Structure 1
Amino acid sequence: MFQVRTPFNHRSFDALNATGVDLDVVSPTPYAPPIGPYSEYRRVPKTEQWGSYRVHYPRFLYMLPKRYFYHVSGNSAQKRVEAYVEETFETPHDVVQACGFYLDGYAALSYCREHDVPLVALSHAGDLKNFDRFNETVQSQIRETIDYCSAVLTVSDELAEIAERFAPASKVTTLPIGEDPEKYPTDRREAIRRELGIGPDTKLLLFVGRFEKEKGVRELAAALDALDRDDVAVAAVGHGGTLRWWFLDRLGELSHPSHAYWELDPIAVRRLHVAADLLVLPSHFEARPTVIYEAMAAKTPVLASNVGGIPEMVVDGETGTLIAPHDSEELRKAIDYLLDDTERLREMGEAGHRRLLDQGWTWRRHAERLGEIHREVMHE
């Protein structure tokens, strides 16, 4: 199986493995340049143990600028993955699960064809929503991958409609990811807030995501700066992003107490979700962001942009509030309005938690449905 190093892929495979499925995970990783921001890829091990299964990191050539040379990267990944899997594993696999059509799905394509192995790919948005931005060669490679796939999976209905531009509807399935509520100590909320130094009357606003303009961090900074309240604290957790230092500087200038965290441990992130009064996610576009599932598991209401697959998750006025993207003043007004009604926030958080369970948006259910799909394609 092939994946990129992202938390939702890691959790998906962990959940699948917990159902008794044997995994070989291969995560193609670029050769690292000697200097620069990507030089840290040299620290990626050749293999590592994740629970009861091992992950392999064969290197391939990743060419920049991506706009012109992404197809070269795809060809290199495909050649390297096929050779590595042939050399490393004794027998062909029953099914290959790819985390996206490009690069991962395309990287697995030659191996699957050679051994007549079914390929299933799960898109989280990037390869489909950015399709028109790729050069013609990459577009052709994505189409080739989708044509071969036995099943085309997407994390949202909105993304499934895009996938149907490239594949028959009978081949496309929405497979949500999710979160496991039992990992969130909601019964310890007050104790966790005390440990974090959050006063009982303080309203904690939480942002989790990349510090990028597409995540709405510029609008968020402007809204927080204009928020005229003395009962607000801000916590921002980042996982990369070109606006990292700009955003941290803006947070430092706020009159509200603010704390920024960089690549925080998942347990610590879960504690912040439990402690928060409101998750704020003013993205410009999304599929179904993991952070909203996390907030629902923590009984935290959501204020988010009405884009992509978010309206499939958040019931406006019931489990949270949806607003238009790109509007810092509307964002400020929505924050101000919601923070004035603590009881309403609590009710929204409870409703979001119930919705998570009612819809089966948990990792256990995700793995069960994925296993069902694998069995179907193996018997076709």
Structure 2
Amino acid sequence: MFSLHVDTARTWRGGQHQALLTVRGLRRRGERAALAAQPRGELFRRAAEGGDLHALAPRGDLDLRAAWRLSRLVRDLAPDVIHAHDAHAIAVAALARTLAGRRAAPPLIASRRVDFHVRGNAFSRWKYRQVDRFICASSAIRDMLADDGVPAARTTVVHEGIDIDRIERAPRLDLHREFDLPPGCPVAGNVAALVPHKGQRYLVDAAAQLVREIPDARVLIVGAGELAGALARQIRRLRLEGRVILTGFRSDVPSVLKGLDLFVMSSITEGLGTSVLDAMAAGLAVVGTRAGGIPESVVEGETGLLAPPGDAPAMARAMACLLRNTVERRAFGAAGRRRARAAFSAERMVGETAAVYAAVAGTRPAANRAGPPGTP
């Protein structure tokens, strides 16, 4: 099976990591996997050593020049399937298939990793009709696509995977020394992009309540993004300087995780949450929200505790409960590590993805193949 993967992002987030794990995992299985990605993006840089890499830099959904280049690539490479890993990739791949001609067009498979409703404009409806199979990162995402009118026959749930061995090999970082924290203080942490749907503002509010109950507790928020300034101002307003620390982007996240006592995922919406999976693999108990696919990874009362999305007091109570109860916290962490290895390995994810390719390749797609809006 030969798959051509398309990802248009310049940033490095969970979706790009999953794309790279998929490409590398397929190659380890002896299958050919080519990648078309932004030449100035982090995914392109990290994938360079593997070869079979092609530059693609669309400027938006309707970039016909990029679509034409991809159509030429499809004709030259003749992959069995195209796998689009983000929304813009779906658009450029759908246009490329139209330009390449229906006979030359392999099936289009699309990853769906966010629990947002699909847009309702005409072009968005058209591009999603071109997808022969959606690979949904959680059942919550599959249910949302069903609400948007996507037939169940065109969706398959494949939970995301993580490189568990990489996490286990990572050395533990002494966070107290790294961030000049008081000796022995309990440390909770969050790892996510600083964007609205990750809900860190509720985590900061929760921290204000937490330190009233556990005065020496500290909270690390690891990541970069548009809300860095707003979160810093919120921390100052609540007089949490030195208690809630914005670390910025870190390249040593597995080591940071191993230095934490507790992991917190504060998302308002979440497809599945690979940071949660990483934390579980690192042996951490998790306080999460009931947003999107998080309850599919965190088993409440077994690997962690869950709070309603946006409920800072409930989040604070759960954090305080586990920070005070060392025995339960460690038991949750051990159970989480076992669950991560059993259910969320990259090898399992790649195998299930390859099975989707095999099921879809060679079949006549049921999707409407009419041209995009405004074309004859």
TM-score, length-scaled by structure 2: 0.82
**CA distance, structure 2, for counterparts of residue 366 and residue 192 of structure 1:** 32
Match for residue 90 of structure 1 among 67, 76, 80:
76
Question: Which residue identity is paired with 2:114?
Answer: A
Superposed counterparts of 1:1-380, under 5 Å? 1-5=5-9, 6-27=16-37, 44=41, 48=45, 49-61=47-59, 73-76=60-63, 79-86=65-72, 90-100=76-86, 102-113=87-98, 114=101, 115-125=104-114, 129-131=116-118, 134-146=119-131, 149=132, 151-165=133-147, 166-185=149-168, 189=172, 192=174, 196=178, 201-226=184-209, 227-228=211-212, 229-240=214-225, 242-251=226-235, 253-254=239-240, 256-265=242-251, 268-359=252-343, 361-380=344-363
Shift of 1:225: 2.1
Answer yes or no: is the 8 Å Cα contact 1:316–1:322 preserved in 2.
Answer: yes
Cα separation, partners in 2 of 1:198 and 1:311, compared to 1, 3 Å: same
Root mean square deviation of aligned Cα: 2.7
Cα separation, 2, equivalents of 1:220 and 1:303: 11
> How many Å apart are 1:209 and its aligned residue?
1.0
Q: Is the 8 A contact 1:58 1:81 kept in 2?
A: no
Shift of 1:249: 3.8
Question: Aligned in 2, Cα 1:4/1:203: closer, same or farther, shift over 3 Å?
Answer: farther
Judged with a 3 Å threshold, the aligned counterparts in structure 2 of structure 1 residues 47 and 185 are, in CA distance, closer, same or farther, namely: closer
Task: Tell me if structure 2 keeps the 8 A contact 1:82–1:108.
Answer: no
Find the residue that maps to 2:62 and give its secondary structure.
helix
Gaps of 5+ in 1: 30-42, 62-72
Alignment-mate amino acid for residue 53 of structure 1: G
Q: Which residue pairs with 1:34 in the alignment?
A: none
Partners of 1:186 and 1:194 in 2: how far apart? Answer: 21
Q: Aligned letter for 1:121?
A: A
Conserved 8 A contact 2:70-2:96: no
* Alpha-carbon distance between aligned partners in 1 of 2:259 and 2:321, rounded to the nearest angstrom: 20
Name the SS for the 2:32 alignment partner.
coil
CA apart distance, 1:373: 1.8
Cα separation, 2, equivalents of 1:59 and 1:374: 25
- Which whole-Å CA distance do the structure 1 matches of 2:282 and 2:43 have between them? 36
Cα gap change, 1:318 to 1:256, in 2 (>3 Å): farther
The one-character-per-residue Cα deviations of 1:96-133 (angstroms, maximum 9, x if unpaired) are 11114x3212211243352131111110126xx232xx
Query: Which piece of structure 1 moves more, 169-178 or 102-111?
Result: 102-111
| Residue in 2 that maps onto 1:40 | none
Give the 3-state SS of the residue equivalent to 1:348 in structure 2: helix
> How many corresponding residue pairs?
342
Contact preservation (8 Å) 1:81, 1:108: yes
The amino acid that maps onto 1:365 is: R
Q: For residues 203-249 of structure 1, what are the alpha-carbon distances to aligned partners after superposition, in whole Å with 9 as ceiling and x for unaligned?
A: 11111112233222221111212322233222211142x21112134
| CA distance 1:198–1:363, shift in 2 (3 Å) | farther
Q: Cα distance 1:327–1:167, how it changes in 2: closer, same or farther (>3 A)?
A: closer
Distance 1:92 1:173 in 2: 24
* Inter-partner Cα distance in structure 1 for 2:42 and 2:188: 37
- Of the structure 1 ranges 159-168 and 113-122, higher mean CA displacement relative to structure 2 is found in 159-168
1:46 and 1:160, CA in 2 relative to 1: closer, same or farther beyond 3 A? closer
Q: What's the offset of the Cα at 1:198? A: 6.1
- Give yes or no for contact 2:289–2:307 (8 Å, CA) kept in 1: yes
Q: Cα–Cα, structure 1 residues 4 and 12, in superposed 2: closer, same or farther, change >3 Å?
A: farther
| Percent identity (aligned) | 20
Quote how far apart the aligned CAs of 1:333 are. Answer: 1.8
Distance (Å, rounded) in 2 between the aligned partners of 1:323 and 1:13: 35
- Residues 222 and 232 of structure 1: CA distance in aligned 2, closer, same or farther (over 3 Å): same
Deviations 1:54-82 (A, max 9, x none): 43333333xxxxxxxxxxx3121x54133
Cα displacement string for residues 314-360 of structure 1 (whole angstroms, at most 9, x for unaligned residues): 1111100001122222222221121111111110011111112232x
Which is further off, 156-165 or 199-208? 199-208
Indicate the SS of the match to 1:202: coil
Secondary structure (helix, strand or coil) at the match of 2:194 reads coil
Q: Is the 8 A contact 1:323 1:331 kept in 2?
A: yes
* Secondary structure, counterpart of 2:165 in structure 1: helix
The 1-side partners of 2:342 and 2:216 are apart by 34
Aligned residues of 1:179 and 1:363 also touching (Cα < 8 A): yes
